[in-house]
Structure 1
C-alpha cells in the first residue's frame, strides 16, 4: 500500500471501476493500494481486520462502506438509489442539507459496490486536488533582472 496519493492514478482507477462488470478481489486491492492513505497508518487494528474479513468473504458492498468509513470519516452516504438497472450513489459532507444547497459527489454503476467505490475514488480525486500543505508556500523567486533601489530622501 502506498502512503501518499498519486492524483494521476485516480482518474484511470475511476475508469477501470466504471468499465468493470463485477467487483473482484484484485480490483478491490487496486482501490486500496491507489486511493487509500489512512489504512496503511492504521496498521492491524480491529477496523482494518473487519475490512480484510469482509473482502475475504466477498461482501463487496459492506467492504466498500467499511473502506469509506475508514478513509473518509467526514463524508457520508447521502443517497443510494436503484433506477433502470443502475445503482446511483451520492456522497456528501453535509447529509442533512437540501440537495440544491450542497454539492454531492454522485456516481452510478450496475453493481452497488462498484458504484460506491467509484464515488469514493471521485471524492479522493477532488480532495487530492484541493488539499493544501500544512506549511505555507515560500514567496516565488524574484525576477533575476529585478534590482531594488533605495529611494529615501534624507533632507
Structure 2
C-alpha cells in the first residue's frame, strides 16, 4: 500500500540529514528548496537570485533569505556560537504567546546549517499545525474587469 504524502515526515527526515552532514552540500540545499520552500516553488521571480546564491555557495545568505521569503512573519531571534556549536533561533515577530513553543531552534557546528535547520524546524511546526503566524492572507479579487491586490474592501 502506498503511503500518503506527509510533508511533516519529509521535513523531519530533512532535519536528520542536516544534523548528520558537516557542511552544506548542493544536494542537501536542493532538497531544502524542494521540500521546505512551497512559496519559492510557486513563483518564478526570485529563482535567479537563489541560483546565484547557490553558485556562490553563500549558504548563510541563502538561509537568511529563505527565512525572509518563506516565513515573512518570522525573524531571526538569535544566532550565537558556544563551544564551537552554532545555535540559530527564529520566532514569529511580535507574537510570543508561549515563548517555548513559538521558537524554532537548531544547533550545528556550521552556521549555515544551523540557520537552515532552524528554518526547516519552523516549517515542520507549520506542517504540524503548530506554527503561529501573524500574516494576513491576501488574495486577488476580480471585480467588473478590474484586478486588485489585497484584502477585499467594501466601498
TM-score interval (norm. to shorter)? 0.7 to 0.9
Aligned pairs (5 A) from 1:1-155: 6-43=7-44, 45=45, 47-94=46-93, 103-130=102-129
> How far off its partner does 1:96 sit?
8.7
* TM-score where L is the length of structure 1: 0.73
Q: How many residues align?
A: 126
Structure 1: where are the runs of 5+ without partners? Answer: 132-155
> How far off its partner does 1:66 sit?
1.1
> How far off its partner does 1:34 sit?
1.1
Is the CA contact 2:34–2:41 (under 8 Å) kept in the aligned structure 1? no
Query: Alpha-carbon deviations, 1:97-150, whole Å to 9, x = none?
Result: 69968732111100011001111111101001117xxxxxxxxxxxxxxxxxxx
Query: Alpha-carbon deviations, 1:27-66, whole Å to 9, x = none?
Result: 10011111110011111x1x33212101111111111111
Task: Answer with 1 or 2: which has the greater Rg.
Answer: 1
Task: Answer 1 or 2: higher relative contact order, Cα 8 Å, separation at least 6.
Answer: 1
Over aligned residues, Cα RMSD in angstroms?
2.3
Q: Which has the higher strand share?
A: 2
